[in-house]
Amino acid sequence: MIKDNRRVCFVVMGFGKKTDYETGRTLDLDATYNAIIAPAADAEGLRCIRSDDIVHSGVIDVAMYEMLLRAELVIADISTGNVNAVYELGVRHALRPKATIIMKEDVGRLYFDLDHTNTFHYEHLGKDIGHSEAIRAQKALRTLIQNALASPSPDSPVYTYLPRLQQPSMTEKEYRQLLDETEAAQEMLSAQIQSGQQAFKESRADDAVKAFFAAAQMKPGEPYLVQQLALATYKAGKPSKLDALIEGLRIIDQLGPDKSNDPETLGITGAIRKRLWQETGDIAQLDAAIRYYGRGFEVTRDYYNGENLAVCYDFRCELQIDPAEAQYDTLSARKVRSTTIEILLSLIANPSFDQRSDALWIYATLANCSFALSQSEDAKRYEKSFFDMKPADWEIETYNANKVAVLKRHTA
């Protein structure tokens, strides 16, 4: 095996899609790593190791502390207020006087005890990062990396205010072994996640289940992997639709959806509950779907939960015996759709909209909401934009299922 003797860039950040509850936005932190951090570090000749990929042995924190002490550079992304990332940043500041870069997504709030530090900002478009922003951020981050590694001045507030403090040291052999193990784990996990994502794009739900199950075994309890495994499981429909839904619900229940404010967890749980109602006719499942979708929409005002909440109100309206309850559901559905359209039109007006990875779903949601509000010309225009983006089979199936439900309810 060829030894990798490059200087190490240790990346401290969350994993997968995380919600910033200050702003109600969901950010794909893997996109931040893959589109900005890793390319910038690699271009500067650094060996990039991510904190969440550490293979722990013995005392669970030893490997993390070793990396925070020994890495020539640490980049800490504190977007979404990730408490682990902020803690690890503090440890780094205590262990090394310099070569630490702090970064965060532009909209989120910077926590008070870091207000005095220099922080690199970048922008997410929806959950993802646009191409032009990725190129800009890579270039800017490369400059920061060059300066951080070359500067003799401390960037740690600890060593700035305690200039006589001496940096600790440790031996080399175990550290190099740890780097190799961590990098191998990082590559294995990344391969499984990419395999699962590709299977989703190609409507191969069975293969997505296998890939995300393997990834979840490597990283037990990670919310993003649990979410994707639950999603793939119920979409696979094996051995039957009902069995798959029950298993998907068992998987997502690991994340405690009854107490969660994570819109991904709430949206997937709502989807499973809605389909359980369709399979069984149990109205309690439909009520539960409305509860989960409703909380997801309130937390983030995201269009996925919004559209599905409105559809579930439509379903329940048809079952109501009390006219007042039926009217409540009708008016609630209309209000949610009107709000959702306002939200999405503001996104389309953004000059960077064409770089959003979720543009397809924005058009799909606008089309169905417009059909429901009898805005037929707008709906047909948005629908054409949806199909022009060449959606996958399962995406078309999902769109059409919602459209059929909308037209059945709202076409005279």
Q: What is the pLDDT of residue 17?
A: 80
Q: What is the pLDDT of residue 374?
A: 93
Per domain, the residue ranges of the chain are 7-170, 295-412
CB contact at 8 A, 313 and 39: no
Give dist(CA 287, CA 282) in Å, integer. 9
| Strand residue runs (E) in 219-341 | none
Q: What is the pLDDT of residue 301?
A: 85
Spell out the long-range contacts of 207-212 with Cβ–Cβ below 8 A and sequence spacing 24 or more. 208/232, 208/235, 208/236, 209/233, 209/236
Q: Enter the pTM of the model.
A: 0.77
DSSP states along 29-95? HHHHIIIIIHHHHHHTTEEEEEGGG----SSTTHHHHHHHHH-SEEEEE-GGG-HHHHHHHHHHHHH
DSSP state of 411: -
Contacts (Cβ under 8 Å, ≥6 apart) of 45: 6, 7
Give dist(CA 100, CA 167) in Å, integer. 14
What is the full per-residue pLDDT of the chain (412 aa) written as tens digits? Answer: 467 778 999 999 988 888 776 666 788 888 999 999 999 999 999 999 888 766 444 344 667 888 898 899 999 998 887 788 888 999 999 999 999 999 988 876 665 455 556 788 998 887 778 888 899 999 999 999 999 999 999 999 899 889 888 887 766 776 777 777 777 777 888 889 999 999 988 889 999 999 999 999 988 888 999 999 999 999 999 999 999 999 999 999 999 999 998 889 999 999 999 999 999 999 999 999 999 999 999 888 888 899 999 999 999 999 999 999 999 999 999 999 999 999 999 999 988 888 888 899 999 999 999 999 999 999 999 999 999 999 988 889 889 988 888 888 877 5
Q: What is the pLDDT of residue 61?
A: 63
Q: What is the pLDDT of residue 58?
A: 39
Q: What is the pLDDT of residue 2?
A: 61
Q: Taking the domain 7-170, which CATH number applies?
A: 3.40.50.360
Q: Collapsing DSSP states into helix, strand and coil, what is residue 123?
A: coil
Q: What is the pLDDT of residue 54?
A: 60
Q: What is the pLDDT of residue 228?
A: 96
